[in-house]
Copies of this chain bind each other. A is one copy, B any other.
């Protein structure tokens, strides 16, 4: 049985207060019981009202200075700082921060793409695991992953990763099991939720308006789960 990934077209523009599970169910005409539903952060943020009117933001001198140096909107910089608990790198116009959740990403996930109106930007959902949990409960599907596209050190291009999960253990810990020649696999944990998010990313390109994908045929470890498991413990991270 192959793994199947189906992008879900036909969702309307999502607005604050919308019932995402109902919109997905209507567009999918039913979601398989055992499906893993991957949902772009952008529509989760919109449904939850995690949209900021930049006209409401008074940038600090710090944000104004940085914006002026690199031709960026100082209100966006200020919003990034508000969403961050730590600046990881701030150089050459690039602002990489640790979000309140612990994700390390460019601009703390603040984004204007696919947001109507020039004065608005979305922020990440305040608790993406909880968002995933609510949608999973309402859909009755196997698991839900809330995803976002992140850049990486060393490798060019963005990849879709998991920032919230429900119904799945995001790490598949093979330590202690054997490889197929019978040697113990040392240090091997697979980031299954990130591979699922990346796979879904193939079916939901940003330019096509497909913010949801359903994955079937994949056998995963069912658990309540949390995307916090995907945060590398600081003591094993040489690039903080």
A interface, CB within 8 angstroms of B: 2-6, 13, 89, 91-92, 94, 96, 103-104, 112-116, 149, 152-161, 170-172, 174, 177-181, 183, 185-186, 188-192, 194-196, 198-199, 201-203, 205-209, 218, 229-233, 235-240
* Candidates B91, B183, B198, B202; contact of A218 at CB < 8 Å: B202
A157 to B155, CA, bound (A): 17
Q: Is the CB of B238 within 8 A of A96?
A: yes
Q: Is the CB of B158 within 8 A of A188?
A: yes
Q: Is the CB of B179 within 8 A of A205?
A: no
Which 9 pairs of residues, A with B, have the shortest CB-CB distance?
A: A157-B191, A199-B199, A198-B198, A180-B209, A153-B239, A2-B6, A104-B154, A2-B4, A89-B238
Q: Is the CB of B154 within 8 A of A171?
A: no
Contact A195 B199, CB 8 Å, known A154-B104, A238-B92? yes
Contact A155 B232, CB 8 Å, known A195-B160, A207-B174, A207-B178? yes
Q: Which residues of B contact A156 (CB under 8 A)?
A: 171, 189, 191, 229-233, 236
* Candidates B113, B192, B198, B205; contact of A194 at CB < 8 Å: B198
* Candidates B3, B186, B229, B236; contact of A4 at CB < 8 Å: B3
Q: Is the CB of A205 within 8 A of B181?
A: no
Q: Is the CB of A154 within 8 A of B232?
A: yes
* 13 A-B contacts (beta carbon < 8 Å): A3-B4, A3-B5, A3-B202, A94-B238, A113-B183, A114-B183, A149-B190, A155-B191, A156-B231, A157-B194, A158-B188, A158-B190, A159-B195
A66 to B158, CA, bound (A): 35
Q: Which residues of B contact A104 (CB under 8 A)?
A: 153-154
Q: How far is the CB of A182 from chain B (nearest CB, A)?
A: 9
Q: Is the CB of B154 within 8 A of A231?
A: yes
Contact A181 B116, CB 8 Å, known A157-B230, A158-B191? yes
Q: How far is the CB of A127 from chain B (nearest CB, A)?
A: 19
A116 to B181, CA, bound (A): 6
Q: Is the CB of A189 within 8 A of B6?
A: no
A237 to B2, CA, bound (A): 37
